[in-house]
Amino acid sequence: MGSSDTRSIDELERCVEAIGTTEPAERSADDHARLIDALVALADAYGKRGEFDAEAEMITRLDQLRGRDESNDVAVHLANALANATSVRARDNLYEAAIDPGRIEAYRNRIEELYDPRPEPAIAAPLARATAETIHANGKGNRRDRIEPLLDRLETVYETHSEPDVAAALLRAHAHAELYRGEGLEQENDGTTDVPLGDTDATETADSARKPSDEENRVTRAEEVFRTHPDGDVAAGLAGVLAGRTNADAKRTDIEAIEDRIGRIEALADRYPAQAESITRWLPVATANAARASFEAADISRVEHWASETAAHYEQLSTPSSATWAAVAMFFSARASFFDGDIEAGETKLERLEELEMRYENPVFAHWLARSMFDAARSYVEANESERARDMVEELSEFAVGHQDREEIEAGLEALRSHAPQLFNEPDSSVSEATDAVEVTAGPVAPTDDPDETLGDTHPDDRAPETDSGRGMPDTGGANGGNQHSAKTSATDDDSADAPGCGNCGDDGCGNCGTDADLKEPASGPVLAVVGAAVLIVGFSVVYTLYRVQQALRDTVGSK
């Protein structure tokens, strides 16, 4: 929500300084009210600029005013200033790369301290708002084990104060809980598991009755609250719950359910045009999951449609949050193009991912970009474009330096090289003659080891589906290859029949008869490896031929 004061920071600072220099006893009631309003607005202005120390100082001054005169309504203004300080959505740009959920939760707890002695709607509303924002912060800050206790407490507040503003905060909290649902609640925490949520013992039964259980659909609860409060802000919370549920829908590849939820969100925006922006800001979540589910269903046209819709929402919103979902959708669109053999289209989308990664500091963009680069490299391998494959692998190697997922990236590169060694091992001049004489071919690349899956997950919505990317390198080392080896071996045998010497002589002379005593340098390691491969192939052919002859003789004897 934030402060609605339109004054600049300079104007607010002059107001605070002018009134603050007078003694409290000398201030008029109007000056006192003006000072309080200016402190609330100035604290919020500092916070939106990321000047958190200055924000904390203004909040402290408000708290001091409350301590001098508890009979006035400073506590309500202080609660609103504290709630503004917990805002995550309104300060999305500040928390793009990192967030301190502990600081935000501490502000929320201070409102709880104000609410306990004065459980009034005027303080319940900022408490509810701060609780929803704290749930968001804990989700972003990977402290998801703290979400459910906070949600329990917010349900209790709503039971006591069933007002539209509290209901709207409740549904926003459910939206963020749904968004992060099941994503790491069992992860390690920072050791501070005891969250001071106020006195909840007396209302545990009510919490249990109203809070959705694992069996109860969170969407059902949101719809119930919305029916009770058909308000625009509550509708925005419902839209968030619907969008968050598409995460689970995408995991089930339920594209129809996702599209139904998208239609519902759009209908809510049409119904409440004044809150359309708050409602439609959830659409990138749903459309990105629609692109993901469409990829799982191998429906390329749907992938392209929903990826384009997500990109359009991002262009309209231009927020770091919408950019992350645009990256998700673009990744699956690029992957669909690469897997479909449309390398040019895949490269175009890869460039868009690079633009997002350069624009934003969030490491999740580098995560999606690296995975798409792996897809590109694999496509080059499949298309037998060795130079482009080597260039992409080299680029990925440079990209991995200093990257938080360096080990995973390098492991993926190693897997890719092992799948297609003939593309990534530069031919040595010492083996050029040998490779002319003996054709060394690579078998099919195993499709089960997907190099991009070695990258870790960095965001609740960045889990790529487990796809069947079974496009291996074409098998060029089949029977024909064996026949070529046999033919070349036969030609060598024919030529050696007329060679001078004792019959055991080779190209480097003979130790028995002394023919061609000027010995050449010993063969290099690669040459020996190549020749050894040829010997193995010939040996296998001989053994296999003898085996077939033996089987034929047995069949003949058996028939007689």
DSSP states along 146-190 = GHHHHHHHHHHHHHH---HHHHHHHHHHHHHHHHTTTSSTTS---
Residues whose CB is less than 8 angstroms from the CB of residue 159 and which lie 6 or more positions away in sequence, other chains included: 203, 206, 207, 210
Reduce the DSSP state of residue 300 to 3 states and report it. Answer: helix
| Ramachandran class of 422: left when φ > 0, alpha when ψ lies in -120 to 50, beta otherwise | alpha
Q: What are phi and psi of 509, to 5 degrees?
A: 100, -170
Determine the Cα–Cα distance for residues 107 and 113; give it in Å rounded to an integer: 10
pTM for the full predicted model: 0.71
In order along its 560 residues, the chain shows pLDDT tens digits of 566 778 899 999 999 999 988 888 888 989 999 999 999 999 999 999 999 999 999 999 999 998 776 656 899 999 999 999 999 999 999 998 899 999 999 999 999 999 999 999 999 999 999 999 999 999 999 999 999 999 999 999 999 999 999 999 999 999 999 998 744 333 333 332 332 333 333 333 344 444 444 434 889 999 999 999 999 999 999 999 999 999 999 999 999 999 999 999 999 999 999 999 999 999 999 999 999 999 999 999 999 999 999 999 999 999 999 999 999 999 999 999 999 999 999 999 999 999 999 999 888 999 999 999 999 998 998 888 888 988 998 888 888 887 777 888 888 888 878 877 777 764 443 333 333 333 333 333 333 333 333 333 334 444 333 333 333 333 333 333 344 433 334 444 444 444 444 444 444 444 444 444 444 444 444 444 444 544 444 454 444 455 444 555 445 444 44
Question: Domains of the chain: which residue ranges?
Answer: 214-340
Class (C level, CATH) for 214-340: mainly alpha
Using DSSP's 3-state secondary structure scheme, residue 461 falls into coil
| Whole-Å CA distances, 386 to 381, 425, 427 | 6, 10, 12
- Distance between CA atoms of residues 329 and 311, nearest Å: 8
